[in-house]
Structure 1
């Protein structure tokens, strides 16, 4: 009985410590001090979230499409005039590729996502987005901040000797999206939402210092940027 009580107390202590770290990650801002804002005409990016994952959407403006030209191949073009946004996310390779829906959840991709996995980039060109949806945050940043966010996002792609993105053959959720090899390794502690937070901070936006879940990332973003 003493051993059982000790085990239960240890588990409870770990859970309390994890909860405290999670709360602290959202409450402690990064960067600690707010940076100055410019008076230039802002540009727009979108933060898209669901219960476990976040993506960033960049407008399909000519300068953005030009910088994304290294993604194009014979099976993936960005020339359709109906494209309004380019949605980009970073995540665990196994979970990304093998779990298109929750109904297809498998044990090994889940375990790799919770422990250690290679990473992949997901890119999906889409049309008009209703930005009034609660799961979408419209963010206005300066042109310099926009460029910094775009540059940091692009730096997450692996490239071949010719500078082209390395496409993952046969991987995609539908006819328009594609997966590409990414830099970095994925863990539950440093996952898709921490990557999104880093991209947002590159644009001068403040977030919590550590946000493994979308809920804390969105909360800290709204709280520290008066959104």
Structure 2
């Protein structure tokens, strides 16, 4: 085999590894990392505050009652920032992600190579806030009951993610009930929107995976309530 052919073969093998091997290694590490629990001895509080953990197949979210003894979220997020502020909302959801990735990829089919590359190499964070009316449990929208102290820590975790109101920008959401706000943090492949969700839950003391870059790594720790 000539030197030119040998180099061509090596380049081909290297390209195949990059295209196939690296994604497989990422998926394997994500599966392993998400299977290692944090707060492994945690259990639900049957008479506690009900929250939800939801997934749309690309992003996960934490959903909380609008008003409780701990906080009224209307004092934190202005309902006037959404286009239909007068509906009978009962819950608010929060999730975090890279600005372009979050604003331009509501579903996997919207993802483009340029947006994906920018997200993997680092980008500024935004908080996605959506308002819901009496959300029902489902396979992709799962309830958890947590203690008051855990909820207080969760609330503090969410509040700490926001850029101060006087300096943060607001961006239109996907629909009439949601909005985006500038948030702290840098998005990259090791710190994804789904990692943000599990970090907030873990810091509140709730059981979840250690490294959860994909939505399934978050949802695997939330019991799936059987629906009719």
| TM-score by shorter chain over 0.5 | yes
Q: How does 1:29-40 map to 2 (within 5 A)?
A: 29-31=37-39, 33-35=40-42
1:84 matches 2:90: yes
Residue 135 of structure 1 is matched in structure 2 by 140
The 3-state SS of whatever aligns with 2:190 is: coil
Superposed displacement of residue 15, structure 1: 4.7
Superposed displacement of residue 27, structure 1: 2.0
* 10-19 vs 211-220, which moves further: 10-19
Residue 187 of structure 2 is matched in structure 1 by 186
**Which of 45, 63, 66 is 2:72 aligned to?**
66
Unpaired runs of at least 5, structure 1: none
Q: How does 1:72-221 map to 2 (within 5 A)?
A: 72=78, 75=81, 80=86, 82-100=88-106, 104-131=110-137, 133-161=138-166, 166-168=168-170, 170-221=171-222
Superposed displacement of residue 96, structure 1: 1.8
Q: Partners in 2 of 1:200 and 1:85 — Cα distance?
A: 17
Q: Partners in 1 of 2:132 and 2:93 — Cα distance?
A: 7
**RMSD (Å), alpha carbons:** 3.1
Unpaired runs of at least 5, structure 2: 1-5
Normalising by the residue count of structure 1, what TM-score does the alignment of the two structures yield? 0.80
1:189 and 1:72, CA in 2 relative to 1: closer, same or farther beyond 3 A?
A: same
1:211 and 1:219, CA in 2 relative to 1: closer, same or farther beyond 3 A?
A: same
| Number of residue pairs aligned between Structure 1 and Structure 2 | 216
Say whether the 8 Å CA contact 2:54–2:63 is kept in structure 1. Answer: yes
* 179-188 vs 105-114, which moves further: 105-114
Q: Partners in 2 of 1:9 and 1:104 — Cα distance?
A: 26
Q: Map Cα deviations across residues 60-82 of structure 1 (whole Å, 9 max, x no partner).
A: 22446535413227545997471
Q: Partners in 2 of 1:217 and 1:207 — Cα distance?
A: 7
Q: Map Cα deviations across residues 203-227 of structure 1 (whole Å, 9 max, x no partner).
A: 322112101001122114449xxxx
Q: Map Cα deviations across residues 175-194 of structure 1 (whole Å, 9 max, x no partner).
A: 33211100001112211100
